[in-house]
Amino acid sequence: MNDRAKAAPTPAGSLNSDPALGADMRTAIERFLIEYARCLDEDRLEAWPDFFLADACYQVLSRENVEHGLPAPIIYHYSRGMIEDRVTSLRDALTYEPVYTRHMVSNVYVVGVEAGVYRVTSNYAVYHTTVEGRTDLYSVGRYDDAIVVRDGQLKFKTRTVIADTFAIKNNMALPL
């Protein structure tokens, strides 16, 4: 028996080298992913919902559950309204540790485009830094995204975060 942890499925085929995608679109997608990370790292939570369509779905899944085919999500916000509700809760209701966050996004990979929906995967590493300046690696994993162009702007139709760090460091108040 191969005893190594089963790798999460990596989609085959890439448009990265396909001239049909166009260098401009590749650049735009990368820029969009970086803008998302900057928005969270600069604590502009109120702008976070703007990255999503009205009927978008933002999910965080545990890699352990994904590999075992179990559906329970860690976060399951299936509308932009729910994404906005998380922002309000984070600002006004929830008690959680104040930290600085730092998102590193890499290995951006455009898997394909169909009917105007770009399938994109990327890796992330998110660090948390306490109010006393101590930094820990909070979570690593992967984004699986469906991105569309709406009124000249890129938006997430779905953003699924699959956390390799499925033993969540304390809790997950802030989005990844």
Partner 1 sequence: MTEANGAAAVPGENFTRVPFALFSDPATFARERDALFRGPTWNYLGLAVEIPNPGDYLLGYVGDVQVVVNRTPAGGIAAFENSCAHRGAQLVRRTRGNAAQHAHTCPYHQWRFDTAGALLSVPQEHGVKGKGGMPVDFDKRRHGLRTLRVETYKGLIFGTFAPEVPSLYDYLGPKIRPEIDRIFDRPVVVLGHWRQAIPANWKLYLENVKDPYHASLLHLYHTTFGIYRATMSGRVIMDDTCGHSVLRTADIGENPTEMKALYKDIDKYRPDYKLKDPSLFDTKPDYDDRVTNMIMTVFPNLMLGQVASTFQTRHVRPKGVDSFELYWTYLGFASDDAAAREGRLRQANFVGPAGYISLEDGEAGRLVQRGTHGLNDRASVVEMGGHGAIADQDTLATEVAVRGFWKRYHELMRAAV
Mask 28-67, x = binds partner 1 (CB under 8 A)? --------------------------------x-x-xx--
The one segment of 29-37, 107-115, 116-124, 161-169 that binds partner 1 by CB under 8 A? 161-169
Per CB under 8 A, 160 contacts partner 1: no
Per CB under 8 A, 166 contacts partner 1: yes
Residues found in the chain: 176
Residue 33 CA, chain-centre distance (Å), reads: 9
Mask 75-114, x = binds partner 1 (CB under 8 A)? xxxxx-xx-xx--xx--xxxxxx-----------------
The C-alpha R_g of the chain, in whole angstroms, comes to 17
Tokens of 147: 């991105």
Sequence-ordered list of residues with C-beta below 8 angstroms from that of 129, at least 6 positions apart, any chain: 99, 100, 101, 102, 135, 136
- Please tell me the count of residues contacting partner 1 according to CB under 8 A: 37
For residue 162, what are the CA distances in angstroms to 33, 73, 172? Answer: 16, 10, 13
Strand partners, 146: 119, 158
Least distance to partner 1 from the beta carbon of 62, Å? 6
What residues make contact with partner 1 under the rule CB under 8 A? Answer: 1, 3, 60, 62, 64-65, 68, 70-79, 81-82, 84-85, 88-89, 92-97, 166-173
